[in-house]
Amino acid sequence: MQDGWDGKSLEFTVSSIDKAGNENLHHTVVKDMTVDLTAPDVTITNSPVVENSDGQHVAKVSANEQVTFEIVSGNDNDWFTIDDSGSISVTPAGIAAGVMDAESSNPGGTLEVQVTDLAGNKTVDSVTIEVTDVNEFAPEFTSSLKPVEIPKTVHGATKTGDRIVLDLDARDLDAGDSIVKYRLLTHNDKFEIDPKSGVVTVKEGVELDFESPSWSYDTVGDAKNNGSVYTLTTAENSQEGSVWSEQAFDVTKDFTLTAKMFFGNKDGAD
């Protein structure tokens, strides 16, 4: 047998001889004797995904050669899937579980993806799916919406604490550390509200008409976050006693919750 090796291919001749001395020569060339021992290079593309989207193509895994893809960790509930191109999507089960909802207990996820080339070399890389919040909820008032009676002691009071008539508290149901700001929409000449705390006070030096047979101030306030508005209305007082006219709340597509807020004395008496 004769052979020649040039580093890339092997050339050899095989001789076979029978008992009668007949010889047969067979010439063989084996090309490309290189053994692939290199694992594929992997690239992850995963920009943050806006919540409530359809969950399609939330991340992309690619390699520098022909490979196959498999999710090997972080997908026990089958909330994600990866196709032959390396595109990761959220399954219907994942959507139902809240994977695409920033306010849920299961937003996004972290997966381990195994990439295998034709020679069997493997690379495992981590893929994080981040779901970003959308401001979709109007603030909610958590404080009581009971009617407010203003005592005469607010007259002449110089301390802010002595002029408080209502303490509002609102929260934003969107994910993250949302800041709620408060403001009064009407009768700002008589009342004021702390934009951070929601405390409503009678302005210093303002005299309210407690002697009128029947009076009230229709003061409308709101809690605001990122353009969302909630307007609070409570009740009114009349000479005959407490008469509370509570109105229905109306939630619109612009996240506005509207009603009226009345401040008044209980019976018009001194």
Write down the pLDDT at residue 58: 94
Does 150 or 88 have the greater pLDDT score? 88
Show the domains of the chain with their CATH numbers.
2-31 (no CATH), 42-132 (2.60.40.60), 140-264 (2.60.40.60)
Q: Which residue is listed with tokens 């407690």?
A: 210
pLDDT band at 73 (very low <50, low <70, confident <90, very high): very high
Mean pLDDT of 216-242: 39
Read off the tokens for 174: 């969107």
CA dist 252 and 221 (Å) reads 17
Cα 2 from Cα 185, distance rounded (Å): 100
Distance CA 150, CA 211 (A): 13
**β-sheet bridge partners, residue 233:** none
Which pLDDT band holds residue 152 (cuts at 50, 70, 90)? low
Considering the entire predicted model, what is its pTM? 0.50
Separation between Cα atoms, residue 55 and residue 261, nearest integer Å: 43
Amino acid (1-letter code) at residue 217: Y
